Amino acid sequence: MISQLLFLLLLSTGIFFFARRIGVIRRNIKSGRAWDGSDRTSERWATMARVALGQGKMTTRPVAG
């Protein structure tokens, strides 16, 4: 019986701290300024594709070192 109560206490404490951390992260994200992403979509997609495939620095720095 005591082990079940201890487990319930630890579980609820963990859920509380997890929810609080999620709230902090959510508040920080919402505090940013609004962004209109409707301009230069093709340029942004090309940059994202280059970075995702690992070729982002290859065109700006072709020789390592």
Asked if pLDDT for residue 46 goes beyond 80, the answer is yes
Reported as a pLDDT band with limits 50, 70 and 90, residue 40 is: confident
**In sequence order, what DSSP letters do the residues of 21-34 get, joined into one string?**
HHHHHHHHHHTSPP
Domain encompassing residue 7: 1-30
- What mean pLDDT, rounded, does the chain reach? 87
What pLDDT is attached to residue 50? 82
Domains in the chain, number: 1
Cα 65 to chain centroid, rounded:
31
In a domain? residue 39: no
C-alpha to C-alpha distance for 52 and 16, rounded to whole angstroms: 36
Is residue 47 within 8 Å of residue 56, measured between CB atoms?
Answer: yes
Would 3 be classed as within a structural domain? yes
* Within-domain flag for 8: yes
Instruction: Establish if 50 belongs to a structural domain.
Output: no
CB 44 within 8 A of CB 37: yes
Question: Is the Cβ–Cβ distance between 55 and 61 less than 8 Å?
Answer: no
Q: Is residue 2 part of a domain?
A: yes
User: Is 38 inside a domain boundary?
Assistant: no
